[in-house]
Amino acid sequence: MREIRVLMNGVTGRMGMNQHLIRSILAIRAQGGIPSASGEMIMPVPILVGRPAAATRLQRLVDRLAPEHGALETTTDLDAALAEKRNEIYFDATLTQTRVDGVNKAIEAGKAIYCEKPTATETAVAVALARKAEAAGVKNGVVQDKLWLPGIRKLKYLIDTGFFGRILTVRGEFGYWVFDGEHQPTQRPSWNYRKEDGGGMMVDMFCHWRYVLDNIFGAVKSVSALGAIHIPQRRDEQGKPYACTADDAAYGTFELEGDIICQFNSSWAVRVRRDDLLTLQVDGTNGSAVAGLRDCVVQHDAQTPKPVWNPDIDSPIDFFEGWSRVPTRDLFDNAFKVQWELFLQHVVDDTPFRWNLMEGAKGVQLAELGLKSWQERRWLDVPPLG
């Protein structure tokens, strides 16, 4: 058994707690760890870190988890915890504004770094962080969970097996209707819609689209983006009206390597008439696919109908038929957990792990360029980083 102590900073938040602590680290513990190259099982040991002000919330969390997961360590002294040599990994899921500080300290303390996206609010800072980690020789990674969504894995399978022929286009549709809180309580945090609090669709989602496009289809070469504040006023968690200052929708067009055009709409003001909350339609010379979060349907050239435009009669073709479902041939584990396992093996066994801080910086870059394109009303090239 190879125990590895992980400082987990910011796991009292919803995402940190559910996806990283419970469904990833504790789930890995519950299954008995993961195999290392040496044959030993790698067993992560979480130490929950919080600011002194969060002491009570940390304790309540530990109490709640105790019956099922036993006593978990906590600390409110990050510096002391970083000073302890036996703590090998520093994980950060705090607010974007505090992340840079925490990661900086951890690099200086020689820890392996793993953190949520975005790694910073400005590209320059994100790149500096990545370089610093590189210079310090510490292993590092950034969360890129959507790469392990079952629907995206199936898409990757189709690409790897040459299903599409030459890929021509990717059409992305993301989002759903977020109620404004007037008659129906809203289902997303109010800070998401305030620029001054770090909200905004481009800042939030272009990080994701960057690594999905780069890793699955081809490197993003240029961007044209338009943002919008469709709903100018919403009500917050207390029912109080507030002005929306951040974009609640982003209409992006990207040019990718390989002459692929990607058109991607992201919106919190759209009603969903499509297969899933996120869909990616890929069209290639030999076939097309539409992937959702978990499922993926395909239409091969052999299945492609030959429609005729005749508005005088009802269409003789049902355009939803003639697509076939890609079977789920393997069980797909939680996406966050899969990436955690890869990172733990990377730390212990030095296996490859390409989703590092520099890759994370690329997401920050695309969000920054998107906002600039919106402002300058023109296409912008995406320069190489570093």
How far is residue 360's CA from residue 120's CA, in Å, rounded to a whole number?
A: 9
Nearer to its own copies, 136 or 226 (CB): 226
Contact flags string 45-74 toward its own copies, x per CB under 8 A: ------------------------------
- Establish if 294 lies at the interface with its own copies (CB under 8 A): yes
Give residue for tokens 């305030």: 194
CB 210 within 8 A of CB 225: no
Q: Which two tokens stand for residue 75?
A: 């600390």
Number of chain residues interacting with its own copies (CB under 8 A) = 86
| Near its own copies in 193-222, by CB under 8 A | none
Nearest distance, CB of residue 276 and its own copies, angstroms: 6
Q: How far is CA 249 from CA 178, 230, 252, 359, in A?
A: 11, 7, 10, 24
Nearer to its own copies, 98 or 315 (CB): 315
Nearer to its own copies, 68 or 318 (CB): 318
Contact flags string 24-43 toward its own copies, x per CB under 8 A: --------------------
| Near its own copies in 139-158, by CB under 8 A | 149-151, 157-158
- Establish if 187 lies at the interface with its own copies (CB under 8 A): yes
Q: Return the range that interacts with its own copies (CB under 8 A); candidates 96-104, 134-142, 194-202, 313-321.
A: 313-321
Backbone torsion region of residue 181, taken as left when φ is above 0, otherwise alpha when ψ lies between -120 and 50, otherwise beta: left
- Establish if 293 lies at the interface with its own copies (CB under 8 A): yes
Contact flags string 218-237 toward its own copies, x per CB under 8 A: ------x-x-x-xx------
Q: What angle do CA 154, 160, 166 make, to 5 degrees?
A: 105
Q: Return the range that interacts with its own copies (CB under 8 A); candidates 30-38, 110-118, 191-199, 298-306.
A: 298-306
Pairing of β 140-142 and β 112-115: parallel
Nearest distance, CB of residue 216 and its own copies, angstroms: 14
| Near its own copies in 241-280, by CB under 8 A | 249, 251, 253, 259, 261, 263, 265, 267, 269-277
> Which among 128, 187, 1, 5 is positioned nearest to 385, based on CA atoms?
128
**Residue 92 CB neighbour total at 10 angstroms:** 24
Backbone torsion region of residue 178, taken as left when φ is above 0, otherwise alpha when ψ lies between -120 and 50, otherwise beta: beta
User: What backbone phi and psi angles, to 5 degrees, belong to 64?
Assistant: -65, -35
Nearest distance, CB of residue 271 and its own copies, angstroms: 4
How far is residue 120's CA from residue 385's CA, in Å, rounded to a whole number?
A: 15
